[in-house]
Amino acid sequence: MIDLILLAEGPKELEGGKLLAEEEGKPLYLHAFQAARQTADAMLGLRVIVVTRPGVLDEAIRAFGFNKVVVSGCRSLSEAIVAGTKAARSGASRCFLSCGRREVTGEQLTAFLQGYILSGRPLGRMSSAGGGAGAMVFAPYLLPRLLALKGEEDGSRLFEGREGRTFSYDGSGREAAGPEKAE
């Protein structure tokens, strides 16, 4: 069971209306919403949660059938992640995707999450075409670590030393080669 948590809150996401600005003919957040909807349609039981401010994206969240978590006056990325972590179902893995990541498609996100499930590993990391993490997923036993995040921490440190326990996906439809693949 996986809960997909879209981060539409945080200093970088809503700064100056960034998520509402048009990119490639549509608001930036819409890229992530469409990818999440396509993935939820493809994966039975996937729940989508959007972390945002009061009154922001309400209409779109309802139209896509997503759940909403409100964080007032979010000052850091970790606050948004903690709010999403708390809103997820008990026993669910938590997958985080920033609404500012327009390069992640529904096909890639679906393949990543299906690969994560099949891998049996507790962690998953998807790199995106634009560089950096496209999405990150954490097994339920990592809940205390996610809840302890501070400042601009995004959970990336939880991958350190766990390379062999991480499903890495490069967006191409296959598991990415990484340190855990070296012989």
Domains of the chain: 2-181 (3.90.550.10)
pLDDT at 73: 75
What does the DSSP 8-state code read for residue 175? Answer: B
Q: Does 1 score more than 50 pLDDT?
A: yes
Token representation of residue 28:
């930036």
Q: What is the pTM of this model?
A: 0.89
Question: How open is the CA angle 145-148-152, to the nearest 5 degrees?
Answer: 110
Question: For position 179, what pLDDT does the model report?
Answer: 45
Q: What is the pLDDT of residues 135-179, one digit of tens each?
A: 999 999 999 999 999 988 999 999 999 999 999 998 766 676 554
- Contact in structure between 52 and 68 (CB atoms under 8 Å): yes
Model confidence over 42-54: pLDDT tens digits? 999 999 999 998 8
Residue 147's contacts (CB-CB under 8 Å, 6 or more residues apart) are 82, 85, 86
Question: Is pLDDT at 34 greater than 90 in this prediction?
Answer: yes
- Please give the Cα distance from 41 to 1 (Å, whole number): 14
